[in-house]
Structure 1
Amino acid sequence: MTEQSEWRFSDDRGQQSAAPRPPERVLAYVQAGATLWDLGVRPVGIFGSDHDGPDPDRAKAGTLPLHEVDYVGAGSGLDAGRLLSAGPDLVVAVSYGNGHVYGLAPETAKPLEERVPVVVIDVGQTRTFAEIGDRFAELARSLGAAGRADADRDLDAARARLRVVATSADTPRVLALSPAGPDQAHVARPRMWPELRVLTELGVQVVEPAEGSGANWSTLDRSDTFALRPEVILTDIRAHAGSLDALRGSDARPTPVVPWNPEPLYGPRDHARFLGLVADALEAARAR
């Protein structure tokens, strides 16, 4: 082993992983795997969380080629043996703080870490979207991915366009929510979500529900949800979310809708695509 070939990476728990050479077979939580794919790293496998089922959630998977990437399962169906069946030489997971490995029970994470390096990236509320994206980019570079100047330019252009659209006239009211059935919705508190904070920083008027129970969401009935007068709706498109059409009902007035994944992908292309959809929806709402 030479100093040049040795691979080391310190994760957001302060734990350093090392290997004789950069890992090539990466198993990742689906959000991390999709982000790494956008950054130029192809995972050999992905796994889900307790919210996921026997098949991968395409809303979380971004542009991952799911026909080429092994999905090893999710939640209680996962154990160290199942995770290791993909033959990984690195596992990439996420955390929402306190170093807890999201999606894996402690009795699964511990024996896994005894067999293979595990890198955990903190995607919690205390960090900005850019900070999280930088950590994923740093990991991707350590694994041999080349930077993509064109992707960064596309992201810069998407940010600039959205800022102009959001601030050029009266900004339509944007509501981010996760439908919980025909009679209820979980309305996002934008300051608690890194991607929604990006929108507000760029001038988008993301509606803040009233203070109350729920740190990340305010759970409202149908009438209270639409009393917030959304002119654009960001709706949770993860597989376990409810139907926006059922929530709105047949008498709802047309409102531009943006598909929103509350577990965002932090690669520049995916983020630029989302910002572009928001800009399109704001322009459509303003034209009504």
Structure 2
Amino acid sequence: MPNLRTSSLSRRGLLAAGGAVGLGAVLAACGDGDEKGSASGSGAEKSGPWSFKDDRGQTAKADSAPKNIVAFIGVAAALHDYGVEVKGVFGPTKTSDGKADVQAGDLDISKVEVLGNVWGEFNVEKYAGLAPELLVTAMWEKDALWYVPDQSKDKILKLAPSVALWAAQTTVPKAIQRHEDLAASLGADVKSKKVTDAKAAFEKAAARLRAAAKSQPNIKVLVGSASQDLFYVSLAKTSADTLYFQELGVQFVEPKVNAAGFFEELSWENVDKYGADIIMMDNRSSALQPDALTSKPTWAGLPAVKAGQVIPRTTEPIYSYDKCAPILDALAEAIEKAKKVS
């Protein structure tokens, strides 16, 4: 990183702080896999040996379907939507006021052991005390376990089998399917009315977004995230959500990034580098939200901001049909109502 203060931060750490992101939050905190995979077991098959091939191409195995599960908070929230509960979580779970973080979804965080709430934090002793039978997390880069600290990874992985599911290099429907596959292997009834109704709502929302993009082909969307010193513009094709939106026809600003990059960093003086009609802003607690940017004149002067065409972006979706359908509907509505201002 050109900023010397961030030279010790990993690229994954920057992603975590804003995915393109609240860099200030990171500083404060610091003081192609097998897409299809395979699984044995289903809602109707809960006994006998269990195995699941994850997106690293690795197969986790156990004598029976794991019950003591520990997961990254967003994955735990997705499993919860399918009826699979976890014993412990790690990753952004609680906000500074003690409330559930946006990434917790419908999970009751008072009923799970929180092993770490920020990047680099994972209590190995507490983890061992849960007698874990399975560790599940996301994967933004090949073989890199999201929010599992590199310095303690070896100790953590010795305690239980692990599963990693793509959050990048995939699309929303594929990511949902992989989470559903895992849930089914753990005993979830993925054919329940709740799940099939949610899938129908998702498909309806996808059709709406496709139609909105087709009816407003000139509307350009910028994917942004803010820190105190920098504004980040994400490349749509690098994340599951925006890549899928792109496939549905949404037109995105394309920032200049290097071959392996997720986003371009802009100073606030240069925040108007790209013209956009809608700005989607990272909704994670690690990033500054639009109401915290009103004192920045360059932000206030952006045409999309003046037009009131700024919407939240769920940067790390909870990969269940129930949680992803509203994301599609919200973007569709924004495009349907948007005026060309760039």
Q: For the superposition of Structure 1 and Structure 2, which TM-score range results when normalised by the shorter chain?
A: 0.7 to 0.9
User: TM (normalized to structure 2)?
Assistant: 0.73
Counterpart position of 1:283: 336
Specify the code of the residue in structure 1 equivalent to 2:55: D
Q: Does the alignment pair 1:175 with 2:216?
A: no
Corresponding residue pairs, total = 283
Shift of the alpha carbon at 1:203? 1.4
Specify the code of the residue in structure 2 equivalent to 1:272: A
Counterpart position of 1:202: 248
Counterpart position of 2:107: 64
Counterpart position of 1:108: 152
1:225-282 CA-to-partner distances (Å, cap 9, x unmatched) read: 3342322211112111123234454744132222213222221111111111111212
CA RMSD between the two structures? 2.9
Q: 5+ unaligned residues in a row in structure 2: which ranges?
A: 1-44
The 3-state SS of whatever aligns with 1:238 is: coil
- Is the Cα contact below 8 Å between 1:166 and 1:202 reproduced in 2? yes
Specify the code of the residue in structure 2 equivalent to 1:63: D
Shift of the alpha carbon at 1:131? 2.6
Counterpart position of 2:40: none
Which stretch shows the higher mean deviation, 33-42 or 185-194?
Answer: 33-42
Counterpart position of 1:241: 287
- Is the Cα contact below 8 Å between 2:56 and 2:164 reproduced in 1? yes
Counterpart position of 1:186: 232
Which stretch shows the higher mean deviation, 28-37 or 111-120?
Answer: 111-120
1:12-65 CA-to-partner distances (Å, cap 9, x unmatched) read: 23332222221122210112112222333222221017xx98968712222222
State percent identity of aligned pairs.
28
Counterpart position of 1:268: 321
Q: How many Å separate the matches in 2 of 1:9 and 1:245? A: 43
The 3-state SS of whatever aligns with 1:114 is: helix
- Is the Cα contact below 8 Å between 1:44 and 1:69 reproduced in 2? yes
- Is the Cα contact below 8 Å between 1:72 and 1:82 reproduced in 2? yes
Shift of the alpha carbon at 1:96? 2.6
- Is the Cα contact below 8 Å between 2:74 and 2:318 reproduced in 1? yes
> 1:36-47 residue pairs with structure 2 within 5 A?
36-47=79-90
Specify the code of the residue in structure 1 equivalent to 2:307: P
The 3-state SS of whatever aligns with 2:232 is: strand
1:158-182 CA-to-partner distances (Å, cap 9, x unmatched) read: 000111111123442211111122x
> 1:7-26 residue pairs with structure 2 within 5 A?
7-26=50-69
Q: How many Å separate the matches in 2 of 1:211 and 1:96? A: 17
The 3-state SS of whatever aligns with 2:52 is: strand
User: TM (normalized to structure 1)?
Assistant: 0.86
Shift of the alpha carbon at 1:80? 2.3
Tell me which of 115, 140, 147 is aligned to 1:96: 140
Shift of the alpha carbon at 1:202? 1.1
Consecutive aligned runs of 4 or more in structure 1 exceeding 6 Å deviation: 52-57
Q: 5+ unaligned residues in a row in structure 1: which ranges?
A: none
